[in-house]
A and B are shown apart, each in its own frame.
Chain A
Amino acid sequence: MKSGIRNQIRELRAGREMTQQDLADRVGVTRQTVIAMEQDKYSPSLETAFKVAIALGVTLEQCFRYEPNGKRA
C-alpha cells in the first residue's frame, strides 16, 4: 500500500554513487527498509526522514514531499 509521502531517495542516492546498503548503514536501518522507502511503500518516521536527508546531504523538503492525492508528480 503506497502512502501520500513521496521521496527522491533513489535519484539522490544514485547521484552520489551510494549503494542501498551504504545509505542503510549511515541511517541505521536495514537495506530492506531503504528498498521499501525507495518504492514509496514505507513512510519513515520524522527522525529517520531527517537522518536520510542528512545522509544524502540535502534538506528534508528536497528529499521528501507530500502528495495529498497519493500520486507521483
Chain B
Amino acid sequence: MATLSYREKSLYASLAAEFVVYGPYFFLHQQNSVNNVAGVIVGIIALQSVLQAIIALVTRNRVTDERDHLIELRGYRAGYLTIATLMVVGLGMLWFHATMGHIHLENRQAGLHFLSVFFGMLIIADIVKTATQIVSYRRAL
C-alpha cells in the first residue's frame, strides 16, 4: 500500500465498500422493499465515510494532481457510457416485455421491480467508474 497514492487507496476502499454493501443486497435477493434500498444507500455512505476517514488518517501525503483529475474524468466517462447503454437496453426490454404482455405495468410489484433494476444499473455504472480509474492508475494512463 506504500506505493499507492492517496487517490488510489481511496478508490480501492470505494470498490471494497461497494462489493461489501451491494454484494449481499443483490446476491441474497433483498430487493423486495423500498426500505432495503434506503438501507443500502445509508450503509454505503456510512462505510465509505469510515473507510475514507481511515485512509486520510494513515496517508501523510494527500496531494492530488492533474493526472488524478484526468483519471477521474476517464472513470466518469466510462460510468456514463455504462449507464447510458444499460438505460437504452433496459428501456428496450421494458418496451418489448410490456408489448408482449409478459409484464403488467399497473401491477404494484412492477414499480418495486423497476426501482431495483434501475438501482442496479446505477451501481454497475458506479463500479465500472471505480474499476476504470483503478485500471488507469495501474496502467499509468
Contact = CB atoms under 8 A, between A and B. Distances in A.
B55 to A, nearest CB: 15
Contacts of B139: 1, 41
A39 B140 contact: yes
B107 interface: no
B72 interface: no
Interface stretch (A8-16, A30-38, A63-71): A30-38
Contacts of A45: 66
B5 A31 contact: yes
Interface string A25-64: 0001111110110010110110010000000000000000
B140 A30 contact: no
Interface string B115-135: 000000000000000000000
Q: Tell me the interface secondary structure of chain A in the complex.
A: loop
A48 B69 CA distance: 14
Interface stretch (B20-28, B57-65, B80-88): B57-65
Contacts, number: 46
19 contacts: A1-B139, A1-B141, A28-B65, A29-B65, A29-B67, A30-B5, A30-B61, A30-B67, A30-B68, A31-B5, A32-B5, A32-B8, A33-B67, A35-B140, A36-B141, A41-B140, A42-B141, A45-B66, A48-B66
Nearest to A41: B140
A42 B5 contact: no
A14 B65 CA distance: 23
Interface in B1-36: 3-8
A32 B139 CA distance: 11
A35 B67 CA distance: 12
Nearest to A30: B5
Contact of B65 (A1, A30, A35, A39): A30
A41 B5 contact: no
A29 B66 contact: yes
A29 B63 contact: yes
B140 A36 contact: yes
